[in-house]
Amino acid sequence: MRLTGFSEKDFGAILSQYKYNLHPGDIIAGTIFHQESQGFLVDVGVSIAGYLPMDEILLRSCNDRCDFKYLINNTREFFILAYNKDRQQLLLSIKRLDYIRAWKRIKQLESEDIILDVPICNFNKGGILTVLEGLQSFIPKSHLIAFTNYQFMLKYNLPCKLLLVDEKNNKIILSHKLALLDLYSNLLKVGKLVYGQITRIKQYGIFITIYGIPALLHISEIAHQYIDIKNINHTFQIGNKIKVKIIHIDMKQARLSVSRREFI
């Protein structure tokens, strides 16, 4: 978060006459006392005024004209962005401080590897848009179970686990399927016998779902002897439930590999 258009020498020269040890990147307490057209004046307890621009208040942009009058007389912490020489004001930010703290919490959540309950804010062809700790996040379609009506889901929260946390590129990717694997961990173990529903039949095997988790029954795992695609289509039908044995759990892709060789 390197600041541009600002001289630390100028900043230091202005503050030195007041003997204040303030620098860009510092966190300072202050009270918002007056609203201007494009921001707020903040009393930070020094002879130099603090200024909070409107676009430095919220982490996420506000589509409508937001009413920030509630901020008047609000005492809180601010992030020092820079010193505005023309107005002789400290440029302050709430958004930057919230951004730093949000990433700190997200990294903590990643280390804890817990299931998160996130809201469904919107969706597109690639997946679902959500918010985690105030930051926009994404659940790719490949990490969702097959929902038929995403519009209906907008009023609900979805259990997810963190898949990718990249602060440098401001990217947060979540997985619903990983959360399901965790929730059904007692049932979905290597060696377990389970029932799954057939969703697709391909030349290389059969796709099934087990508790919403996709699984592949490879053609080599259908029977001890070789079986071709004609026999697969004759023996199995989409929608049918079949008994399989879990032989591998892919936690990165949130999918299972299964076998029926013991049954045929």
Q: Looking at residues 234-254, what average pLDDT do you find?
A: 88
- Domain interval for residue 237: 184-259
CB 189 within 8 A of CB 251: no
Q: How many domains does the chain have?
A: 3
Query: DSSP per residue over 76-137, as a string?
Result: EEEEEEEEETTTTEEEEESHHHHHHHHHHHHHHHHHHT--EEEE--EEETTEEEEEETTEEE
Q: What is the CATH number of the domain that holds 196?
A: 2.40.50.140
Res 178 pLDDT > 70? yes
Task: Encode pLDDT of 44-70 as tens digits.
Answer: 887 788 999 999 999 877 655 677 888
Q: Any idea how long the chain is?
A: 264
More confident residue, 72 or 153: 72
**Do residues 158 and 224 share a domain?**
no
More confident residue, 39 or 151: 39
Instruction: Kindly report the number of other CB atoms within 10 A of residue 41's CB atom.
Output: 17
Res 137 pLDDT > 50? yes
More confident residue, 194 or 60: 194
Q: Which residue has the tokens 């804890």?
A: 112
Q: Which of 135, 161, 181 is the last residue of a domain?
A: 181
Question: So what's the pLDDT on residue 88?
Answer: 78
Question: So what's the pLDDT on residue 20?
Answer: 56
CA distance 231 to 234: 5
Q: Which of 181, 207, 228 is the last residue of a domain?
A: 181
Q: Looking at residues 21-33, what average pLDDT do you find?
A: 88
Secondary structure letter of residue 139 according to DSSP? E
Rg for the chain, CA atoms, rounded: 27
**Do residues 191 and 130 share a domain?**
no
Task: Encode pLDDT of 82-111 as tens digits.
Answer: 987 777 789 999 999 999 999 999 999 999
Q: Which of 62, 97, 132 is the last residue of a domain?
A: 97
pTM for this prediction: 0.74
Q: Confirm whether 30 is domain-assigned.
A: yes
